[in-house]
Chain A
Amino acid sequence: MNNVFVYCEIEDGQVAEVSQELLTKGRTLANELNCNLEAIVVGHKLDKIAQQVIPYGVDTLYLADDKRLYPYQTLPHTAVVVRLFEEEQPQIALMGATSIGRDLGPRVSSALHSGLTADCTSLEIGSHSDKKAGKDYENLLYQIRPAFGGNIIATIINPDCRPQMATVREGVMKKNILDPKYKGKVVNLDVSKYVSDTEFVVEIIERHVEKSKLNIKGSPIIVAGGYGVGSKENFKLLHQLAEVLGGEVGASRAAIDAGYVEHDRQIGQTGLTVRPKLYIACGISGQIQHRAGMEQSAQIIAINTDPEAPINSIADYVITGDIADIIPKMIKYYKQNTK
């Protein structure tokens, strides 16, 4: 009771990256709170899952295994999670900010009347005193995320409702196996007690999951463009530079909203989090939401027409000028000096 719970997603029989990252974070939080870490997996053919999950320091793993529970469906998964949470009363519940977590999380929070914070970039334990109500709280989950407008970071708490729920994007937390021989208990749930047949009302006619063709997250060099790039046409320059350097092209939210590049290249709080060796930010002003996804890059070059752009303060090299002029020079001198 009152433990930290992680809802784990399964892809092709493997625990999703984001779930592994959350298990790692969940273990840290559980240690601070001096409680157990528990995990729930809902799906089918889960006999090999325990050996993947428990090494992250999971004390109890709940499995809901039924042919009809894979692939994910809203109502049956909600039913399992809601009922299990009612029984186990977790104090914290974490989910990936994925198409599954963002479908399931709000549903569960609405059913349990508990608070949910989306796309957190940091999770910490802390206290709170509500002076108006004269109440003091210990060991609350601080759900930290950039908020509206860009230049602010909000710390959200759920003082009175449990579980305290948060979603986190893939890549934001780091994964780390605690102990390959960790001893955890596996509980196989009797699915019929958690889900009724009437909850299987959606028929999945076709499902086509493609591995992302892009590997921006794994690329050592990223050339990213923002609204300041100005057009789809100008983005070609970024592609050229990325190709020459052996990197990938990323973009800020503003560039994607403007239609300059595809959606799956988005870097930032609501997109990818990257940590390349070199990040070249072209025409990116550097709102906090964007920085949240790239500020851990080893080296940053910022190219901007605005010498006051916020991105400049975290850059190793700041070049003020026009990308149409600067990028060709970078390509030229790279080629000249690597022959």
Chain B
Amino acid sequence: MKAYNIIVLAKQVPDTRNVGKDAMKADGTVNRAVLPAIFNPEDLNALEQALRIKDQFPGTTVKILTMGPVRAAEIIREAMFRGGDGGVLLTDRAFAGSDTLATSYALGQALKKMGEIDLIIAGRQAIDGDTAQVGPQVAEKLKMLQVTYVEEVKELKNDTITLKRRLDRGVETVKCKLPLVITVNGTAPECRVRNAKLLMKYKRAKTVTELQKENEDYTMLYTNRPDLNIPEWTVNDIETDASQLGLTGSPTKVKTIENVVLQAKDSKVISDSDENIENMMIELIKSHTIG
């Protein structure tokens, strides 16, 4: 039976789903400090699809590739707790300010260094931007085929895969050959939870920077257990053309960011008393808004 090399593209994102009142600073900028950083939800759906293939085809490896600050190593560890085989953190100031295209370029160059890949699986989109662009842009950079909005891997046999896609108004089942880039929809099965044994096994998995920060001497441990080293790649570890990186390599620029000034309407503020609600309903009926 064939084993597969799978890379999951994942992103650590601020949890924009539970934005409280303190999420914005007085000057209108985002207060990132108060938003928890999480594993992008649809990337977890993507990880689950990869792990299912690993369950079915022993010997399959599932590695994470993520780009972000040093802290983003957290999601590589998180994936290891759930059954992943480590991965690579791509981190460098040179990537700062990247739009989706510059991000895709950097990820594409890193992927080229990750050896032979059968499948690249990513979440459809990240909740901090909702663009759904990075998956297809990476595929184009690598000149690979893509299948987006995948909900289920129906069959994988040698190098032929059958996938069910969830579209705006329906479903589609497609069959094609590997290698392939897949983006996974949020309607796909949720990711399995952490496994207690794997948690114990990998809780000390760290990047070099994390080890230096903690200033603890576990040298022996990391020499004996190479699987605990999370590789950290900077711009020097991959082949890049500087003009395609970061802000410089981003065709889109943010011209302005405006605070939304709400044009306050002349609202009727009413209490929940029976009388008030009845009057409101009568007004709406009279104006033919309802009824």
Name A residues whose Cβ lies closer than 8 Å to a Cβ of B: 71, 74-75, 78, 98-99, 102-103, 105-107, 109-111, 113-119, 128, 142-143, 146-161, 201-212, 221, 245-246, 253-254, 257, 263, 269-270, 277-278, 287-288, 298-302, 307, 310, 312-322, 325-326, 329-330, 333-334, 336-338
Is there contact, CB below 8 Å, between A319 and B271? yes
A310-B263 Cα distance, complex, nearest whole Å:
11
Query: Quick one: which of B240-291 are within 8 Å of A by CB?
Result: 244, 250-260, 262-272, 274, 276-278, 280-282, 284-285, 289-291
Chain A, Cβ-Cβ closest to B17: A257
Q: B176 an interface residue at 8 Å Cβ cutoff? A: yes
Is there contact, CB below 8 Å, between B172 and A151? no
A338-B282 Cα distance, complex, nearest whole Å:
9
Chain A positions within 8 Å of B170 at CB level: 207-210
A333-B262 Cα distance, complex, nearest whole Å:
32
Q: What are 21 inter-chain pairs, A to B, with CB distance below 8 A? A: A74-B147, A74-B148, A75-B145, A105-B136, A109-B251, A149-B30, A151-B24, A203-B175, A204-B174, A257-B41, A263-B186, A269-B130, A278-B284, A278-B289, A313-B263, A313-B265, A314-B264, A318-B268, A319-B276, A320-B272, A326-B277
Is there contact, CB below 8 Å, between A106 and B272? no
Interface size, chain B (Cβ < 8 Å): 83
9 closest pairs, A vs B, by CB? A115-B251, A321-B272, A115-B252, A110-B140, A209-B170, A161-B251, A106-B136, A106-B133, A110-B137
A288-B257 Cα distance, complex, nearest whole Å:
13
- The digit string for B153-181, where 1 denotes a CB below 8 A from any CB of A, is 00000000010010111111111110000
A211-B131 Cα distance, complex, nearest whole Å:
25
Chain A nearest CB, measured from B74 CB (Å): 20
A254-B290 Cα distance, complex, nearest whole Å:
27
Chain B positions within 8 Å of A160 at CB level: 251
A317-B270 Cα distance, complex, nearest whole Å:
7
A337-B262 Cα distance, complex, nearest whole Å:
34
Q: B61 an interface residue at 8 Å Cβ cutoff? A: no
Is there contact, CB below 8 Å, between B252 and A204? no
A302-B262 Cα distance, complex, nearest whole Å:
15
Q: B43 an interface residue at 8 Å Cβ cutoff? A: no
Is there contact, CB below 8 Å, between B140 and A106? yes
A300-B269 Cα distance, complex, nearest whole Å:
12
Given contacts A288-B260, A316-B265, A318-B269, contact A106 B100 (CB under 8 A): yes
Is there contact, CB below 8 Å, between A157 and B253? yes
Chain A, Cβ-Cβ closest to B41: A257
A155-B260 Cα distance, complex, nearest whole Å:
12
Chain A positions within 8 Å of B175 at CB level: 202-203, 205
The secondary structure that dominates the A interface is mixed
- The digit string for B96-108, where 1 denotes a CB below 8 A from any CB of A, is 0001110010000
A277-B104 Cα distance, complex, nearest whole Å:
43
Is there contact, CB below 8 Å, between B268 and A330? no
Is there contact, CB below 8 Å, between A333 and B140? no
Chain B positions within 8 Å of A210 at CB level: 169-170
Q: B23 an interface residue at 8 Å Cβ cutoff? A: yes
Is there contact, CB below 8 Å, between B169 and A205? no
Is there contact, CB below 8 Å, between A128 and B255? yes
Is there contact, CB below 8 Å, between A299 and B289? yes
Is there contact, CB below 8 Å, between B131 and A118? yes
Is there contact, CB below 8 Å, between A201 and B177? yes
Q: Which of A147, A202, A320 contacts B271 (CB 8 A)?
A: A320
Q: Which of B24, B132, B262 contacts A149 (CB 8 A)?
A: B24
Chain B positions within 8 Å of A334 at CB level: 281, 285, 290-291
Q: B36 an interface residue at 8 Å Cβ cutoff? A: no
Q: B39 an interface residue at 8 Å Cβ cutoff? A: no
Chain A nearest CB, measured from B17 CB (Å): 5
Q: Which of B149, B259, B271, B280 contacts A151 (CB 8 A)?
A: B259
Chain A positions within 8 Å of B272 at CB level: 319-322, 325-326, 329
Chain A positions within 8 Å of B271 at CB level: 319-321
Chain A nearest CB, measured from B38 CB (Å): 12
Chain B, Cβ-Cβ closest to A11: B169
Chain A nearest CB, measured from B37 CB (Å): 14
Q: Which of B130, B253, B265 contacts A270 (CB 8 A)?
A: B130
Chain B, Cβ-Cβ closest to A152: B257
Is there contact, CB below 8 Å, between A202 and B136? no
Is there contact, CB below 8 Å, between B187 and A153? no
Is there contact, CB below 8 Å, between A263 and B101? no
Is there contact, CB below 8 Å, between B133 and A109? yes
- Known: A203-B174, A269-B130, A317-B268; 17 extra A-B contacts, CB below 8 A, are A74-B145, A74-B146, A99-B168, A116-B252, A118-B130, A148-B129, A149-B19, A150-B16, A151-B24, A154-B257, A156-B253, A158-B251, A159-B253, A204-B174, A287-B19, A318-B269, A319-B271
Chain B, Cβ-Cβ closest to A75: B145
Chain A positions within 8 Å of B269 at CB level: 307, 312, 318, 320
- The digit string for B77-116, where 1 denotes a CB below 8 A from any CB of A, is 0000000000000000000000111001000000000000
Is there contact, CB below 8 Å, between B281 and A333? yes
Chain A nearest CB, measured from B88 CB (Å): 21
Chain B, Cβ-Cβ closest to A247: B290
A270-B126 Cα distance, complex, nearest whole Å:
12
A12-B187 Cα distance, complex, nearest whole Å:
26
Chain A positions within 8 Å of B104 at CB level: 106, 110
Q: B28 an interface residue at 8 Å Cβ cutoff? A: yes
Is there contact, CB below 8 Å, between B16 and A149? yes
Q: B128 an interface residue at 8 Å Cβ cutoff? A: yes
Chain B nearest CB, measured from A14 CB (Å): 13
Chain B positions within 8 Å of A319 at CB level: 270-272, 276-277, 280
Q: B201 an interface residue at 8 Å Cβ cutoff? A: no
